Structure 1
Amino acid sequence: MHKKVLVIAHGHPEFNKGGGEQAAYQFFQECLSQGDDAYFLARTAISPHGGAAFSTIKNEREILFHTTHDDFFLFSNIKTRHLWGDFADLLTQLSPEVIYCHHYFLLGIEMMKIIKQVLPNVKLVLTLHEYYAICHNSGLMVKTGKDKKLCFESGTRECNQCFPDKSPGDFFLRKQYIQQCFYWVDCFIAPSAFLRDRYIDWGVDCAKIHVVENGQPSVSVIPNVNVTDKQVRIAYIGQINPFKGIDVLLDALELLPEEAQQQLYIDIHGANFSSQESDFQHKISKQLKKLSHVVRMHGAYEPHELGRILDTINWVVVPSTWWENSPMVIQEALSHGKPVIVSDIGGMAEKIQHNVTGLHFRARSAVSLADTFMAILSDKSLQSKLVSNITKPLSLPESYQQINNSISI
């Protein structure tokens, strides 16, 4: 049944290269492929012409929303609250039957209530890509102390210890406010069971939150790159920041004996390195220089280049030091028949079966990752064994259908 839909994201992949933005845009394109009368609304930091709230990109179906939120504690709009009137007018004009919202970050969490006030009969679906509502530390569920320990649950006093400038009462009210805004959502989509469990523990009704993986576009896979006796090619693909584990990866490589290093070739493809804090940049740059015979830093890539990158490597490594939810690169690697080396926590451990579709190593442990590299080098047949176990991840049409089944469409 064809329907009129609106897909909302916190960024357009034309300007923002994150996995959430890409997942939202791919879903929008799938809606069009399914025959829906679909529109894509993406928040942008680009200055509008003449102070307009909206502008279009590429065509009239892709709309940029020139807004932000000013309160990063509540995800609330303050200075730009007047734009909700323009947003309400746009909703009235489009009058979608279903709104698939892929985020509220930088958009303003009050958006949920505005949507239902303007369109009380609309089906409102919210995909949760991380743990922002649960954790004030950028949704990472990681402690703010020097060791940046993993956090296993939220609580007013626990959160106050991470952010002593906010009282336990502040965190109590924060949770109440966010849950009041979530009240308006008809259905939550969790791309991993791990994330679903965290949100149920936090207070989301288990009957309203469904696990549906981010669908993947169909790709033509070329035969896997042969592993020679001399070299194994491994790629890191994704954002570069202190929680993605680049330092763990480089530390692990430094631990390897020179003979083992010579058998590895590591490609790093990622954006946002230059926007990180100087101490992090200095540490990584120093390690890259020391490991220049093993590692190459390629910088950012465009989505259409991903297939070519994956077709030239043997393994993908995802060494993140936080829980992750469902890194797009894991599904993309599996789509191309590549086994994945992952930290043994969160959505990463859920998506990759150890010794079946990839390998686990102890999260945050360079020693464990170095041991994993040695295991790969000592058994050159391991890659082909795991490749034979890989099945295609959920496709975009399958994801589209599962999400609509969750909301009875």
Structure 2
Amino acid sequence: MLFLHNHYRQPGGEDQVFAAEGELLEARGHRVSRYVMHNDRAAKMSRAGLLRTTIWNGAVYRELRALIRRERPQVAHFHNTFPLISPAAYYAARAEGVPVVQTLHNYRLLCTNALFFREGRVCEDCLGRKATWPGVAHACYRESRASSAAVAAMLASHRAAGTWSRAVDMYVALTGFARQKFVQGGLPAEKIATKPNFIEPDPGTGDGRGGYALFVGRLSREKGVETMLAAWERLRTRVPLKIVGDGPLAARVAEVAGRFREVAWLGRQPKDRVLDLMKEARALIFPSVWYEGFPMVIAEAYAVGLPVVASDLGSMSSLIDHGRTGLRFRPGDPEDLAVQIERISKRPEELARMRREARAEFEANYTAERNYEMLLEIYQAAAGQAEART
């Protein structure tokens, strides 16, 4: 297998999944070659040079053809090509007869900033357009019209060339909601499989005896932190809330924690400590107001048997089965969130059942073994697509 990834300047979830899936295959006897680039190089390039590279990196095309001839991988699996690897890499793999798989970690192929989020709200102004010019007008990428125009030019040129429909044999959407959006945006439905990320090693289950609700994430507007804090200000039942994370709204969180004895801000915590907190929690609060990709914290919650109370929006609508693995509430509505928290607090038998169902959801969909099976199925489908076009 050949794994390809363009690392961002700040490490994130995509980098973790790139590493985890490669290790998953190697642990089961597969040989995995890796081709990576880092965005630190982009800072040293001229604006014109970066634009050309983003659309077509000829050097990458040549390097990859040579690499593929040496390694002879069965599949080329891409995680991110933006901006330095470029879609030229798809064509290099195709020229050497290697099936192409692309994981859709974000909405880059449909949206200039890859998030469907602008000015504090969900935005689909560019969805389905041949060119994402609204994203340029609003400077959606790095708050720069010039940088946004470069992204829009790349997307438009490859849409016109048929790259997204013909040069990739299989796409991997992380949730059913994301798959629906990509189909709506023009990608061929028959080429989009749904496969979530996975948790390894299995952290084991908790018992929720701590009795508190838990938030884990960036303290920022898009994560719905204000909605959560407003809900706690409205609760009639005193439910302890522990908040893990840091970010732009840290001062607001600290202010609420100072006024309400049941709210505790713990700041950043290491992974093991977060899992321990999850095991003792009553519910995970996930009030995000944007679509999200695949929040690993939800899969981690399920792994320890922790129900999730989340916004009924985007990927959360796909991941949380209301009344079974958790509860959903109207996005941005603190009153409705407060109602769901009260429900969790007053129905212990229902909560116990949801804990069992959350763990069952993990075992059915988010283990390493299940992910390995799904990954091989996608590779086989990609090989079939590649064979059909030869």
With the shorter chain as reference, the TM-score category is 0.7 to 0.9
Residues in 2 aligned to 1:400 and 1:177: alpha-carbon distance in whole angstroms: 35
Instruction: Please state if 1:358 is matched with 2:326.
Output: yes
**Relative to 1, partners in 2 of residues 1:397 and 1:388: Cα closer, same or farther, differing over 3 Å?**
closer
Asked if 1 retains the 8 angstrom alpha-carbon contact of 2:55 and 2:157, the reply is no
What amino acid sits opposite 1:176 in the alignment? A
CA distance in 2 between counterparts of 1:322 and 1:357 reads 21
What's the Cα RMSD here? 3.8
Which residue identity lines up with residue 2 of structure 2 in the other structure?
L
Counterparts of residues 3-402 of structure 1 (less than 5 Å): 5-11=1-7, 18-45=12-39, 76-77=53-54, 89-113=66-90, 115-116=92-93, 120-136=96-112, 138-142=113-117, 144-145=118-119, 148-151=121-124, 154-156=127-129, 160-161=133-134, 163-164=136-137, 175-179=155-159, 180=161, 181-182=163-164, 183-226=166-209, 232-257=211-236, 260-261=237-238, 263-269=239-245, 273=247, 276=248, 280=249, 282-291=251-260, 293-299=262-268, 301-302=270-271, 306-390=274-358, 391=360, 392=363, 393-402=365-374
Q: Name the counterpart of 1:407.
A: 379
Amino acid corresponding to residue 185 of structure 2 in structure 1: W
How many angstroms apart in 1 are the aligned matches of 2:318 and 2:376?
24
Superposed CA offset, 1:203-262 (max 9, x none): 1111111112223325152441226xxxx22222234433122222222222335xx34x
- Aligned-partner Cα distance in 2 for 1:79–1:98: 21
1:170 deviates by: 9.3
Give the Cα–Cα distance (whole angstroms) in 1 for the partners of residues 88 and 307 of structure 2: 40
Distance 1:31 1:331, change over 3 A: same
| Structure 1 residue 72: Cα displacement | 12
| In structure 1, distance between residues paired with 2:133 and 2:374 | 39
CA contact (8 A) 2:122 2:291 kept: no
In 2, Cα distance between equivalents of 1:71 and 1:281: 39
Evaluate the alpha carbon distance shift between residue 124 and residue 320 of structure 1 in structure 2; reply closer, same or farther with a 3 A threshold.
same
2:387 aligns with: none
1-side partners of 2:115 and 2:17: how far apart? 19
Inter-partner Cα distance in structure 1 for 2:191 and 2:324: 32
Deviation of 1:88 (Å): 5.3
User: Is the Cα–Cα contact under 8 Å of residues 284 and 307 in structure 2 kept in the other structure?
Assistant: yes
- How many Å separate the matches in 2 of 1:323 and 1:150? 10
Q: SS at 1:407's partner residue?
A: helix
- Going from structure 1 to structure 2, the CA distance change for 1:204 and 1:269 (only over 3 Å counts) comes to same
Q: What is the distance in 2 between the residues matched to 1:208 and 1:336? A: 33
CA distance in 1, matches of 2:351, 2:234: 22
Higher alpha-carbon deviation: 95-104 or 79-88 = 79-88
Determine which structure has the larger helix proportion and give its number: 2
Farther-moved stretch of structure 1 (147-156 vs 292-301): 147-156
The TM-score, its normalising length taken from structure 1, stands at 0.76
By how many angstroms is 1:345 displaced? 1.2
**Compared CA separation, residues 266 and 306, structure 1 to 2 (3 A):** closer
Question: Residue 137 of structure 2 aligns to a residue in which SS?
Answer: coil
Rounded to whole Å, the distance in 1 between the matches of 2:103 and 2:129 is: 25
1:201 Cα offset (Å): 1.4
SS at match of 1:387: helix
C-alpha change, 1:265 and 1:287, in structure 2 (3 Å) is: closer
Moved more, 393-402 or 195-204: 393-402
Question: Counterpart amino acid of 1:98?
Answer: V
Measured after TM superposition, the shift of residue 323 of structure 1 is 1.3
One-letter amino acid matched to 1:139: A
Per the alignment, residue 58 of structure 1 pairs with none
Q: Classify 1:29/1:157 alpha carbon distance in 2 versus 1 (closer, same or farther; 3 Å).
A: closer
Distance in 2 between the 1:360 and 1:23 partners?
26
**1:301 partner letter:** P
Structure 2 residues without counterparts, runs of 5 or longer: 139-144, 384-390
Aligned AA (2:80): H
For residue 372 of structure 1, what is the amino acid of its counterpart? Answer: Q
CA distance in 2, matches of 1:97, 1:371: 52
Supply the AA of the counterpart residue of 1:154.
L
Amino acid aligned to 2:357? N
1:171-224: CA deviation from partner (whole Å, max 9, x where unpaired): 985543243443321110111111111111111111111112223325152441
Give the distance between the partners of 1:69 and 1:404, measured in 2 at CA: 41
Deviation at residue 363 of structure 1 after TM alignment: 0.9
> 2:4–2:77: 8 Å Cα contact kept in structure 1?
yes
Q: How many residues align?
A: 367
SS in structure 1 at match of 2:96: coil
SS at match of 2:284: strand
Task: Give, in angstroms, the shift of residue 152 of structure 1.
Answer: 7.6
Asked whether the equivalents of residues 240 and 262 of structure 2 are also in contact (C-alpha less than 8 Å), the reply is no
Letter in 2 for 1:151: E
- Structure 1 CA distance, aligned partners of 2:334 and 2:126? 26
